[in-house]
Chain A
Amino acid sequence: MVNRSDFKRINDYVFEVPKSYREDMRVPARFYADDSLLAGALDDKSLEQLVNTATLPGIVGYALAMPDIHQGYGFPIGGVIATALPDGIISPGGVGYDINCGVRLLGTHLDVDDIAAHLDDLASALQRNCPSGVGRGGKIRLSSADLDQVLEDGAQWALRQRYATTNDLEHTEEGGRIAGADARKVSARARERGRDQIGTLGAGNHFIEVDVVDEVFDERAADRMGLAPGRVVAQIHCGSRGFGHQVCSDYVKRFHQSVRQYGIQLPDRELVCAPLSSPEGQDYLAAMRAAANYAFCNRQVLTHLIRRSFEEVLAGGVDNHYVYQIYDIAHNMAKIEEHEVDGRRMEVCVHRKGATRAFGPDAPGLPSSYRDIGQPVLVPGSMGTASWVLVGTHGSMRQTFGSTCHGAGRTMSRRQAKREVRGSDLRRDLEAGGIRVRAGSMGGLAEEAPIAYKDVDRVIEVVHNAGIARKVARIVPIAVVKG
């Protein structure tokens, strides 16, 4: 186990485990945290998992962990690594089973007082219109040809079906379509699982929230996104559903052969990987991109259903209830990007598992409306607590391959949370605090209780002060819909 004494303090918010800690480390490991978050992370195996990722072939710079790190399987949640092209590895475990799990933030021109009288109805409409729950299918059953288009065109398919606007796509990472996806690289089982889950939320920690802007920290950036104190916004947190889970499972199985074939030594089988240049590495990249497109499309169709819910409840009673898109980000993804490593520009494969891309101003790929302020970064907190809107910085480009945190980060097991909190009590407490709750399962609600998570405000202080993102606005929930 990694101990406090194994860490060298680099500055107030960066701690490092040197390469000498373990013989098989190829690079040092760096953890963004304050003293308290570091102490907390030593309680589970997350930092040992971080060190394990520092052993992967082709890794460059540092194995990185964000302050919301927690124990995962193979890679820690909150981990970032970059591997050099062409022969560095790509690892399905470095992306996770929920490929392109991500967050979308939607804006409105409404103030909280405008919808106060309609909030119960709005929460119910969102629950009714946005299918959620374990394995639940939606109202769209894709033909095989349509599924191919979803996998290769992402949210552009939704645009053609009138589930999207061009503004939505412009304000989505990669324009809602990551190039290089290949529908032929996914299994029949994955296709079957994906056929009827477009436009569905799922279960676990996925949610739809209606929030209100609580405080603004950067007026220029907030104004650009239409955020002001009292303004109503909405968030979606979900991913590629059973389709992505199957793609990951298929390639984890296949990569066990690759590890043997290429003689790769691993400290944990869940880190299985293959060289990016290998046929199986290229196949996984194409399949993962297909799953990423599926997730972009899924959140886009959910956006359509959210718009329908606002329309159903507010039309005729509240003016100007149009819901527009602020941004959509992925936090489980591997992407080919150009970064500076040891003073040299190079192409790398950045694995972000429970970490958000946070490109600074003028970075390639940003929509024109955000080019001078940096990429919006959306960080949901635990249920019932604050979420944050940040922007990427030049610091994140220099320090963390353009990455930052993705959430609060768990500190307590789901089982422990269920022992300590009754779902019905939690719901009552949230409702007493003015938050409407619509949940499919009280047990599932209890697992996501705020006491099971770190304080998101503390996580944000670290990334802000370390310079790997900048605070724009803090938002708080007024309605939560969970599967």
Chain B
Amino acid sequence: MDANVTPPRPPGVPALAEFTVVEHTADWALQVRGRDFRHLLLSAAWGMNSLLVADLSMIGPVDERYLEVEAFDRESMLVEWLSELAYLAERDRFIACEFTLESVSPEWLQARLRGDIVPALQKHIKAVTYHNLDVILTPDGLAATIVFDV
């Protein structure tokens, strides 16, 4: 990583989402933060959404998706959760603007998503990687840096 950047909050991103875009030579990276694991997952989802769509305020809760995600620890849940959202974006151009996490653990997640189909994505996320991925404890909760292959 070259340097952290603190840009203005992208349009449509709620105040609860805590993330920072981090510079990376070839790819894109996000540092995400949360009071707890549930909050961390939400911050990560909003952070990735902000990479995919410039103005998230245009997206309304007109369509719905339901997700079940299986993983084996917090890092893999973070990767699998974002991978599912990236897949919905690639396949359907579906971007969520409301996330209801009905069950959250490092091994199992159920989520109801409401959002909309967008006309185009500004970025293609090929994959969410495990590169140096570590969910760490901070004085304010949890944090992780996620590198995306683009």
Contact (Cβ within 8 A) B26 A248: no
Determine whether the beta carbon of B130 is less than 8 Å from that of A135. no
Asked if B25 lies at the interface with its beta carbon under 8 angstroms from chain A, I say yes
Minimum CB distance partner of B93 in chain A:
A135
Assess whether B26 is in contact with A410, with CB atoms less than 8 Å apart: yes
Which of these binds chain A: B42-50, B58-66, B83-91, B107-115? B83-91
Within 8 A of A (CB), among B102-150: 120-124, 126-133, 147, 149-150
Contact A268 B23 (CB under 8 A): no
State the Cβ distance, A207 to closest chain B Cβ, in Å.
Answer: 14
- Does A270 contact B131, Cβ atoms closer than 8 Å? yes
Contacts of A411 in B (CB 8 A): 25
Closest B residue by C-beta to A440: B120
- Contacts of B124 on A, CB cut-off 8 Å? 134-135, 202-204, 483
Asked whether B130 lies within 8 Å of A270 as measured between CB atoms, the reply is: yes
CB of B28 closer than 8 Å to a CB of A: yes
Could you tell me if B23 and A413 are in contact, using CB atoms closer than 8 angstroms? yes
With a cutoff of 8 Å between Cβ atoms, the chain B residues found around residue A410 in the complex are: 25-26
| B residues less than 8 Å from A245 (CB atoms) | 126-127, 149
**Cross-chain contact of A193 among B91, B93, B130 (Cβ < 8 A):** B91
Chain B neighbourhood of A189, CB < 8 A: 87
- A98, A248, A253, A414: the one within 8 Å of B28 (CB): A414
Instruction: Determine whether the beta carbon of B123 is less than 8 Å from that of A134.
Output: yes
Q: CB distance A415 to B25 under 8 Å? A: no
B31 at interface, CB cutoff 8 A = no
B9 interface residue, CB < 8 Å from A?
no
Contact B130 A269 (CB under 8 A): yes
Measured CA separation A441–B53 after assembly (Å): 13
Query: Beta-carbon contacts of B28-57 to A below 8 Å, as 1s and 0s?
Result: 100000000000000000000000000000
B residues sitting closer than 8 Å to A (CB atoms) are: 1-2, 5, 21, 23-28, 72, 75-76, 79-80, 83, 87, 89-91, 93, 120-124, 126-133, 147, 149-150
Contacts A74-B129, A416-B2 supplied; 9 other A-B pairs, CB < 8 Å:
A44-B25, A70-B25, A73-B130, A98-B149, A203-B124, A257-B72, A269-B132, A269-B133, A416-B23
